[in-house]
Structure 1
Amino acid sequence: MSDKSMQNEVKHENGSSKPSTIELVNKNLAKRYRAEKRFRAYGIASILFGLACLVVLFTDIIGKGHTAFMQTEVYLDIDLSAEQLDISDINDANQVAAADYQGVIKKALRERFPEVKGRRDKRKLYSVVSNGAGFTLRGMLESDPSLLNQKMGVWLLADDDIDTYYKTLGDGDAFTGRMSEKQQSWIASLIEEDQIKKSFNTTFFTAGDSREPEQAGIHGAIMGSLFTLLVTIVLSFPIGVAAAIYLEEYAPKNKFTDFIEVNINNLAAVPSIIFGLLGLAIFIGFFEMHRSIPLVGGFVLTLMTLPTIIISSRAAIKAVPPSIREAAMGIGASKMQVVLHHVLPLAMPGMLTGAIIGFAQALGETAPLLMIGMVAFIVDIPGGVTDPATALPVQIFLWSDSPERAFVERTSAAIMVLLAFLIAMNTLAVWLRKRLERRW
């Protein structure tokens, strides 16, 4: 029978037709191919949706936060006269520190805008410059005492309202906020005379927290995070690796070790705030350690990170082929020599990868640190693990609750810095895995 005749329909006695076997197979194949294409389309759509969400998130954060890396400054002719500053001895550090710098700045503003007469208008005029601008003059005089009794032009930090208004002038809809029309006219006058500009905001990276947005920085929060992460690394990595080695190489397989393994897996899924409550009860309540210090924060994050490190380290040890152990023991190596000289070096890339991912998770945690008091308002830069400090995620949380408009951009900028740290740590983990892993 020819192929053509095989593909013809078979007639029944009642005149109905029945598809051939080949047609049924082709129909089923076409149906399966359509299902596979739909499944592939669903996967691609899911990936595109996730990427779109990331693009929207990053666009919103960068759009709001990139302006925080620039700061508005106002140019004034400052007269650093000893009489005005009330300094009789320039070598007296106390006199230099307590000098009336704000009075000098106010005098320069009155000279720049002599038409301002009323008391209320003068208060508005004085608010054009940040109340922290005096620290700039003090730093100049401390570094160069010869500036005393000299008159010079100085760029001083603008107030946060002025800063926000000046940055949004080019948007077509400037944010006036609490600014009056007279303040806007003064800014227009400064713009005409090129006496106002935007410069790189070094304060954001060199200063601690402040209630004034233009003086607030993330240096203190970054140092607090680094000290906290340092304690976490020093404690969690050795303990986690040692626990993984014991459970995988030495521990007998019985109900007790099974119970330990189940609890380790369960602890990896426990909400982080539970570890904060545990740290609050044990380290602060029982051991009476101080609140808001990186040492306690490191202890809490160590408890939170240990399950992740143990699980990843055990997986890395399991990936080492049994032939490595058998070959080492065959030439007379002891159990400890097998583990330390052969198994551990081969498993170390996987251990490091899991540990770095765990540390990145710890770096971005907020809830456990809130529970142990690292939400305190800290102005000074911490110098060690026992100094009061906050962490970068907590600093973001604090700024996000502030009513000032200028804190919105600083919150987004701090998120950008935190994301940069997290991306760097995850990139390092991927690089280590690709660079050090061995294929069998």
Structure 2
Amino acid sequence: MTDLAVETPVAAMPAQGTTGVHMTEKAKQRLKARYSAERRFRYLGLAAILFSLAALATLLVTIASNGFTAFQQTHVRLTLDLSAEQIAPVGTTDFTRIMQGNYGRIIGEALEKRFPEVTSRRDQRRLGSLISPGAESQIGRMVAADPELIGQTVQIWLPTTSDIDVFVKKQVDTTAPEDERRVKDIQVGWINALQASGDLELRFNTRFFTGADSREPELVGIWGGVVGSIYTLLVCLAVAFPLGIMASIYLEEFAPKNRLTEIIEVNINNLAAVPSIVYGLLGLAVFIGFFGMPRSAPFVGGLVLALMSLPVIIIASRAALRAVPPSIRHAALGVGASPLQTVMHHVLPLAMPGILTGTIIAMAHALGETAPLLMIGMVAFIVDVPVTPADAATVLPVQIFMWADSPERGFVEKTSAAIIVLLVFLLVMNLAAILLRKRFERRW
């Protein structure tokens, strides 16, 4: 007999993604509600991201629109008679003698020649208010650099006052009545005449990047704050970086796991969340009050910021050390290396990218701090660029704070421009952290 193969029909399985034949109506409703909740969650997350991007874009556009004009300054071209009677005898090379010249009178005579129809004393004062008071020192430095200019007639571009500058940049309501404007109608006529003759134009504001603070908005510069910030960050880095690494190595590699080390670890984590102004009060009481260190000095500011940055550096360094595989330690110990050699020659080099990333982020955070530095007196009005970390100075965030508190309209654009510079610094530091992590990162 021939065996006949009997085929047994196989029940058809439901296609993947279907609800199945045995799913009840309530189960289908619950599944539909779950999918709807997931979609709502995704939409809410997307809306949060879009809202954050819109807020960031609004902030950046507002700052850029208000601060971009500060990179230019209105200048007037005048023909100056650098007579020896107003400055010093021909051949004088003494810097002090040259800087004591009557440059205000030289500027006044040049304006009177340019506008001979101005005769009344009030109009002459208004005419003189076109030129910034800082123009006198500018001419003095030019003559001191080249004493042969004494007795000659030269053409030079001089900065205008802040009121004229913001008027030319159309940052004020030019249609307002005369008594509501700081720039009067007769001055508007002079401005139009200078523009028509090509003797008034917007030029790159080099003083903003090379000068220090001033009472006049058109004379302020950020270089003093930038140098103060650099000195402060160098002191902070010199103190916080080695101490943070040594503390993290000890706690992670050598410290016994007992109640004392647990208390230390908890306190380090808590110190990272302490408000920054508390560190300012600590620096005021310890460094200035007890040790008698100078106020408003980058050295003291760096020590205060180092105290604030230490917990962040320790936490980041410990995380980087913990990320190194234990097999690296076991292999080094297996070939006869001591525990210290294992850490210094094998573990630390592999953890250094993460340590550097955390350190740079901590330094970027310290760069933007204001409150602790206000407590130690770095809010002082400093007109000179610091030469050493012990000199009186301010930092860029404090500079922004002081300019934002000034009532003059010209400080508005200077404040926004300084914020742009600070954001560039922060962007560069964060970019450096990303590049270091990408360059040296190893995946285990």
TM-score range, shorter chain: over 0.9
Alignment match of 2:207 (pick from 186, 203, 210): 203
Pick from 220, 224, 232: which aligns with 1:228? Answer: 232
Q: Which residue of 1 aligns with 2:58?
A: 56
**1:21 aligns to what SS in structure 2?**
coil
Deviation at 1:85, TM superposition (A): 2.5
**Who is 1:37 aligned against?**
39
Structure 2 matches for 1:320-335, cutoff 5 A? 320-335=324-339
Cα separation, 1, equivalents of 2:395 and 2:209? 14
8 Å CA contact 1:87–1:99 kept in 2: the answer is no
Within-5 A mapping of 1:231-310: 231-310=235-314
How many angstroms does 1:141 deviate by? 1.1
- Matched with 1:139 is 141
| 8 Å contact kept, 2:91–2:148 | no
Tell me which moved more, 114-123 or 66-75: 114-123
**Could you list the runs of 5+ residues in structure 1 that have no partner in the other structure?**
7-18
* Structure 2 residue identity aligned to 1:134: E
In structure 2, the CA distance between the partners of 1:169 and 1:284, relative to structure 1 (3 Å rule), is closer
Between 1:314-323 and 1:146-155, the stretch displaced more is 146-155
Matched letter for residue 311 of structure 1: I
Matched residues in 2 for 1:113 and 1:376: separation? 41
Deviation by residue 1:367-424 (Cα, 9 ceiling, x = unmatched): 0000000000000000110000000000000000111100000000000000110111
SS at match of 2:78: strand
How many angstroms apart in 2 are the aligned matches of 1:336 and 1:210? 54
8 Å Cα contact 1:375/1:398 also seen in 2:
yes
Q: Secondary structure at the match of 2:85?
A: helix
2-structure distance, mates of 1:330, 1:91: 75
Task: Indicate the larger mover: 163-172 or 189-198.
Answer: 163-172
Q: Supply the AA of the counterpart residue of 2:397.
A: P
Match of 2:154 in 1: 152
- Separation in 1 of the partners of 2:97 and 2:349? 61
Alignment of 1:155-174 (within 5 A): 155-168=157-170
- Aligned partner of 2:358 among 341, 354, 358: 354
Residues 297 and 393 in structure 2, CA contact (< 8 A), matched pair in contact too: yes
* 2:383 counterpart of 1:379: yes
Please give the alpha-carbon distance, in whole angstroms, between the structure 2 residues aligned to 1:351 and 1:376.
35
Match of 1:47 in 2: 49
Change over 3 Å in CA distance of 1:177–1:419 after alignment to 2: farther
Counterpart of 1:117 in 2: which secondary structure?
coil
Deviation for aligned residue 1:285: 0.2
For 1:428, the equivalent position in structure 2 comes to 432
Q: Does 1:415 align with 2:419?
A: yes
Report the Cα offset of residue 173 of structure 1. 6.1
Task: Give the Å deviation of 1:171.
Answer: 9.0
Alignment of 1:189 with 2:189, yes or no, is: no
Aligned to 1:108: 110
Which amino acid letter does the alignment assign opposite residue 342 of structure 2? Answer: V
Task: Give the structure-2-normalised TM-score.
Answer: 0.93
What pairs with 1:4-83 in structure 2 (closer than 5 Å)? 21=23, 23-83=25-85
Indicate conservation of the 8 Å contact 1:61/1:412, yes or no: yes
Deviations 1:294-348 (A, max 9, x none): 0000000000000000000000000011111001101111000100011100110
Matched-pair contact (CA < 8 Å) for 1:87–1:95: no
Q: Deviations over 1:267-294 (max 9, x none)?
A: 0000000000000000000001110000
Aligned partner letter, 1:225:
S
Cα separation, 1, equivalents of 2:93 and 2:155 = 24
Secondary structure of the structure 2 residue equivalent to 1:155: strand
Distance 2:270 2:50 in 1: 33
Q: TM-score, normalised by structure 1?
A: 0.93
Q: Is the 8 A contact 1:312 1:351 kept in 2?
A: yes
CA RMSD of aligned residues (A): 2.1
Contact 2:361 2:430 in 1 (8 A): yes
Mapped partners of 1:84, 1:386: distance in 2 = 39
Q: Return the alpha-carbon distance in structure 1 between the equivalents of residues 174 and 203 of structure 2.
A: 21
Q: Percent identity, please.
A: 56
Structure 2 counterpart SS, 1:82: coil
Greater mean alpha carbon deviation, residues 412-421 or residues 115-124? 115-124
Counterpart position of 1:437: 441
Structure 2: give runs of 5+ residues left out of the alignment: 1-9, 15-20
CA distance in 2, matches of 1:200, 1:245: 50
Assess, with a 3 A threshold, how the Cα gap between structure 1 residues 218 and 50 changes in structure 2: closer, same or farther. Answer: same
Rounded Cα–Cα distance in structure 2 between residues aligned with 1:169 and 1:305: 41
